[in-house]
C-alpha cells in the first residue's frame, strides 16, 4: 500500500494551487524517494516538475511504485475542503482505482475522508538536460510576482536582460513600455530579501507573461525564487520548499522570427 502523512497539510494545498491552473491532468509518481510529478501545460509551452521527498512526510510508506493519474481540477476541489492546519494523509492500494485523502484537525476531533477516482494517463516523460546557465537570478518570490503582475498591465511578453549592471524586466505594448531594473543588493544579513545574480554571460530572452504569471501561483510556497536563464533555452523558475522539496517550472522562450 501507499500512505503519506503530511503534518503541515497546508503545503499540499499550496502545491495544488501552484499547478492546477497550468496542468489539467497528471500522474503523481509515488516511489520510495517520495512523490514526484512532471507535466506539460495543454499547449506544451511549459513544463512543471515537483518533488515531495519521503522524509518530509511522517510516516511515509510505499510498498510498490505507483502512479496516481489525477485530474487536477478534481483534486484541487478536494484540497480546498482541507483546513490550513489539518494534517493530510494520501492513501491508496498497490493497484489503485482510487485514492483517499484524509484531513485530520489538529486536535483530531474532526476527520474528513475523501475518495477520488483515478484516471489512466498516458503521459510523456521528458528528460531535462543539465544546462550551464548564463545567469542565475535569485530574488524574493513576492518581488517576482509583483514584476509579472505589473508588466502584464503593459504587454504580453517580458524581456529579461541580465548583465553586469543587474537584471532588467521589460514589457512593451500598445500603450507604451515598462522597465523594471533590479540591482544585486549588498545586504548580507537579510537573506530572504536579497536579489543575487550569478552571471556567466550577459543574456537577453523574451517570455510569455501569461505562463510566468501561472508560475507565480507557487509564491506562498517559498520566500525566494530562482530564475535560471540561458540563451535560446527555456527559463527554469524554481521555488525550493523548506524540508520537503521543490517545484520547478520551465518555459520555452519566444524567438524573433
Partner 1 sequence: VAKQGVISQYFSSL
| Site map 221..250 versus partner 1, x via CB under 8 A | ------------xx---------------x
Find cell 530562482 and name the residue: 226
Q: Which of 45, 76, 78, 112 binds partner 1 (CB under 8 A)?
A: 45
Binding of partner 1 by 120 (CB under 8 A): no
Cis peptide before 59 (omega within 30 of 0): yes
Binding of partner 1 by 65 (CB under 8 A): no
As a whole number of angstroms, the distance between CA 41 and CA 73 comes to 13
Contacts with 86 (C-beta within 8 Å, 6 or more apart), sequence order: 9, 10, 103, 104, 105, 106, 112
Radius of gyration of the chain (CA): 20
Binding of partner 1 by 189 (CB under 8 A): no
- For partner 1, give the closer residue by CB, 35 or 209: 209
- For partner 1, give the closer residue by CB, 104 or 238: 238
The least CB distance from residue 230 to partner 1, in Å, is 10
CB atoms within 10 A of CB 46: 24
- For partner 1, give the closer residue by CB, 101 or 215: 215
Binding of partner 1 by 206 (CB under 8 A): yes
Binding of partner 1 by 253 (CB under 8 A): yes
The least CB distance from residue 233 to partner 1, in Å, is 6
- Residues 250/47, Cβ–Cβ less than 8 Å: yes
Residues 9, 14, 15, CA angle at the centre, nearest 5°? 100
As a whole number of angstroms, the distance between CA 254 and CA 212 comes to 13
| Site map 153..182 versus partner 1, x via CB under 8 A | ----x-------------------------
Amino acid at each position: 500500500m501507499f500512505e503519506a502523512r503530511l503534518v503541515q497539510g497546508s503545503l499540499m494545498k499550496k502545491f495544488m494551487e501552484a499547478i492546477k491552473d497550468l496542468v489539467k491532468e497528471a500522474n503523481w509518481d509515488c516511489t520510495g524517494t517520495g512523490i514526484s510529478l512532471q507535466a506539460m501545460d495543454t499547449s506544451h509551452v511549459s513544463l512543471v516538475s515537483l518533488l515531495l521527498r519521503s522524509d518530509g512526510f511522517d510516516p511515509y510508506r510505499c510498498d510498490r511504485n505507483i502512479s496516481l493519474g489525477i485530474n487536477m481540477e478534481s483534486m484541487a476541489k478536494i484540497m480546498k475542503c482541507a483546513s490550513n492546519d489539518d494534517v493530510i494523509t494520501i492513501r491508496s492500494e498497490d493497484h489503485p482505482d482510487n485514492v483517499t485523502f484524509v484531513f485530520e484537525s489538529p486536535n483530531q476531533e474532526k476527520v474528513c475522508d475523501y475518495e477520488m477516482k483515478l484516471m489512466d494517463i498516458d503521459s510523456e516523460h521528458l528528460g531535462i538536460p543539465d544546462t550551464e546557465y548564463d545567469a542565475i537570478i535569485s530574488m524574493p518570490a513576492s518581488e517576482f510576482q509583483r514584476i509579472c503582475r505589473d508588466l502584464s498591465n503593459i504587454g504580453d511578453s517580458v524581456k529579461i536582460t541580465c548583465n553586469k549592471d543587474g537584471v532588467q524586466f521589460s514589457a512593451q505594448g500598445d500603450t507604451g513600455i515598462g522597465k523594471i531594473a533590479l540591482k544585486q543588493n549588498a545586504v548580507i544579513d537579510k537573506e530572504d530579501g536579497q536579489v543575487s545574480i550569478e552571471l556567466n554571460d550577459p543574456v537577453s530572452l523574451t517570455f510569455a507573461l501569461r505562463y510566468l504569471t501561472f508560475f507565480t501561483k507557487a509564491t506562498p510556497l517559498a520566500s525566494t525564487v530562482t530564475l535560471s536563464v540561458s540563451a535560446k533555452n527555456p527559463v527554469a523558475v524554481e521555488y525550493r520548499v523548506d524540508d520537503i522539496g521543490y517545484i520547478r517550472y520551465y518555459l520555452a522562450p519566444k524567438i524573433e522570427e
